Structure 1
Amino acid sequence: MYALTIPAPGGPEALVWAEVPDPVPAPGEVLVDVAASAVNRADILQRQGFYDPPPGSSPYPGLEVSGRISALGEGTTGWEIGQEVCALLTGGGYAQKVAVPAGQLLPVPQGIDLVTAAALPEVTCTVWSNVFMIAHLRPGETLLIHGGASGIGTMAIQLAKAVGARVAVTAGGPAKLERCRELGADILIDYREQDFVAELHKATDGAGADVILDIIGAKYLKQNVKALAVNGRIAVIGMQGGVKGELNLGALMAKRGAITATTLRARPEGEKAAIVSAVREHVWPLLESGRIRPVVDRAIPMHEAEEAHRVIEAGVHVGKVLLLG
């Protein structure tokens, strides 16, 4: 098969489309012929040499795919050859084939086409596990999403609205904020022009956000604590603004607040399977009913992934950027 390899870390041009050995499904795995993958920030970090795959996983980037099952590993049950699926991966999605633990598979939702389904696994699993399983967002609460126009953000807006929460977003510029509004966001903050803490407090009569979904990290740590409501929860899922910040524990304690920080890729297989199962139970019905939908900015041929990475790094997209297998 062919896959996008990284012979040496570097810029987008470091991605090389090359012939590599076909993967073989281990017991409990399936082999998927890839229809599409999607670009995530983790892929860019891996390409740059800052985020190595976990030991034993595929060396190729790509944390989600859609496609058709072409082979079953020994002892794998509940899935059939030819079935259309999408999958959460530890790596290997930038390829024509990938082996996936059966517990990380999801059927393509009714009403969603096979290619578009590649936009779903990473965002739904990330948002559901952090916002709902860990931070326990409840109806009537306020969720602040940093990067509301991103793949994560566009899904988080919709899921939060579906459960009856109020949604605030930060995004760069009127066009992106308008897209967030169309998806249901109630409070729109242009981080380039506005102080998000002041704007959030103004919109919530000083109460702040009950849950904050943060892709920035260190740069926003102090401001996030200020923006937090009493008994609020901060879920850190990215470090685009750095890895080290100063935390005022007194301010956090005064809010009776909590901060969690997680990654999805390195979690044990059993934990991923539990998240995937919860997503299938809670999120898939919302997709199939049309209450929420994947947001796709554009689809680019996989062998031209260099261009897709440039789009993500430039920040000109809304939603997901797909790679066509």
Structure 2
Amino acid sequence: MRAIVVTRPGGLDALQVTTVPKPEPQPGWVRIKVKAFGVNESEVTTRKGEADSDVTYPRIPGIEGVGVIDQPGRDSGLRQGQQVATMMGGMGRSFDGSYAQYVTAPAGQLIPFETDLPWEVVGALPEMFQTAYGSLAAGLALRAGQSLLIRGGTSTVGLSAAAIAKDLGATVVSTTRNPERVAELRAVGVDHPLVDDGTIAGQVRELMPDGVDAALELVGCSVLQDTLRSVRRHGTVCFTGALAGQWTIPDFSPFMIPGRVRLTSYAGEAGDLPAEVLQHQLRAIADGRLKLPLAKVHHGLEQIHAAQADVEAGTTPGKHVVLLDD
């Protein structure tokens, strides 16, 4: 099969299109014919050698992918030709990932679905929607009628979280540092777009004097204290990402957290996106109720350099997807 292989960390030229043996699934694993995969910051750091120590080389990157079952294996409960998504759990890091015509993964790490949506649409969803949905459901237990603040709203996860929260029936406040990107927030249904100058608690309190019920922190520790001040008593902040690059707070003290405000975190795994939830989201997209933040579709493995370059540049909002030919 053809695949992208990184033999050692480096620049974009480290992403080599090459021919490798088709992977054989080990017991309890299945083989998937890849139809499309999303391109993520995680894979950029893997290519650069900046990822965690669980990444080994040579490596086929790719932490997510969608396709059809090619070899279901024994007792997997899956059938040949069935549509599935898979993500994370070490894929593309400790074992070979989705930047290839075929990938193998543990059967328990697959999410089956049925849809007529184009593969490039489905390929944008797994990691993005798993992180957004998991943060809202597992991290914040967000319910219809509640208010949500998304700090870092024009990121792919931020845009997805806004769309999912609106579909749930929440009121959404979301931020961007660029006034020219306010329209992107409105396009996914955000009720109150805010321009973030580093301190937004005052703006939030003007809208909701008691504070929001829940907040999703995607910018990072550099603004976390201000986000905590935006939340009502007994409300919750979920720390999921650090777009600004700061993952820790020097000399942290628990008393930095306002009284009666809860702080949690979300890292996520494939199991946090149940099959019925993914199926609901696919129907919502097909019905036009859920807007997908899709940036660009790249056709073929040869376009991986352009796709990763676009992700690094960050100039095109939404998710970048590589679509593979049959």
Give the Å deviation of 1:320.
0.7
Find 2:277's aligned residue among 266, 273, 279.
Answer: 279
- Alpha-carbon deviations, 1:168-226, whole Å to 9, x = none? 111242442202101110111223x5732222222223x23322222222212222222
Structure 2 residue 23 is the aligned partner of structure 1 residue 23? yes
Q: In structure 2, what is the Cα distance between the partners aligned to 1:35 and 1:242?
A: 35
Equivalent residue of 2:206, what SS? helix
Partner of 2:257: 252
Change (3 A) 1:54 1:209: farther
Greater alpha carbon shift after TM alignment, 64-73 vs 109-118:
109-118
Partner of 1:76: 76
Change (3 A) 1:252 1:44: same
Structure 2 residue 118 is the aligned partner of structure 1 residue 119? no
Structure 2: segments with no counterpart, 5+ residues: none
Q: In structure 1, what is the Cα distance between the partners aligned to 2:189 and 2:33?
A: 35
Matches within 5 A, 1:9-20: 9-20=9-20
Q: In structure 2, what is the Cα distance between the partners aligned to 1:58 and 1:106?
A: 27
- Alpha-carbon deviations, 1:132-179, whole Å to 9, x = none? 122111222221112322221221111111111111111242442202
Structure 1: segments with no counterpart, 5+ residues: none
Equivalent residue of 1:219, what SS? coil
TM-score by length of 2: 0.86
Change (3 A) 1:280 1:58: farther
> Contact 1:66 / 1:115 at 8 angstroms: preserved in 2?
no
Give the Å deviation of 1:228.
2.3
Structure 2 residue 229 is the aligned partner of structure 1 residue 226? yes
Aligned length: 315
Identical pairs, percent: 28
Q: In structure 1, what is the Cα distance between the partners aligned to 2:134 and 2:80?
A: 29
Change (3 A) 1:55 1:41: closer
Partner of 1:197: 201
- Alpha-carbon deviations, 1:53-78, whole Å to 9, x = none? 7479993221211222211122221x
Give the Å deviation of 1:121.
0.9
Change (3 A) 1:7 1:305: same
Partner of 1:294: 292
Matches within 5 A, 1:167-206: 167-191=172-196, 193=197, 195-205=199-209
Q: Which runs of 4+ in 1 moved over 6 A?
A: 55-58
Q: In structure 2, what is the Cα distance between the partners aligned to 1:58 and 1:120?
A: 27
Q: In structure 2, what is the Cα distance between the partners aligned to 1:55 and 1:107?
A: 27
> Contact 2:86 / 2:111 at 8 angstroms: preserved in 1?
yes
Partner of 1:308: 307
Change (3 A) 1:153 1:111: farther
Change (3 A) 1:202 1:194: farther
Aligned-partner residue type, residue 242 of structure 2: M
TM-score by length of 1: 0.86
Q: In structure 2, what is the Cα distance between the partners aligned to 1:221 and 1:56?
A: 33
Q: In structure 1, what is the Cα distance between the partners aligned to 2:275 and 2:104?
A: 19
Aligned-partner residue type, residue 149 of structure 1: T
> Contact 1:104 / 1:276 at 8 angstroms: preserved in 2?
no
Q: In structure 1, what is the Cα distance between the partners aligned to 2:272 and 2:158?
A: 22
Aligned-partner residue type, residue 315 of structure 1: G
Find 1:263's aligned residue among 242, 263, 267.
Answer: 267
Partner of 1:37: 37
Partner of 2:171: 166
> Contact 1:108 / 1:114 at 8 angstroms: preserved in 2?
no
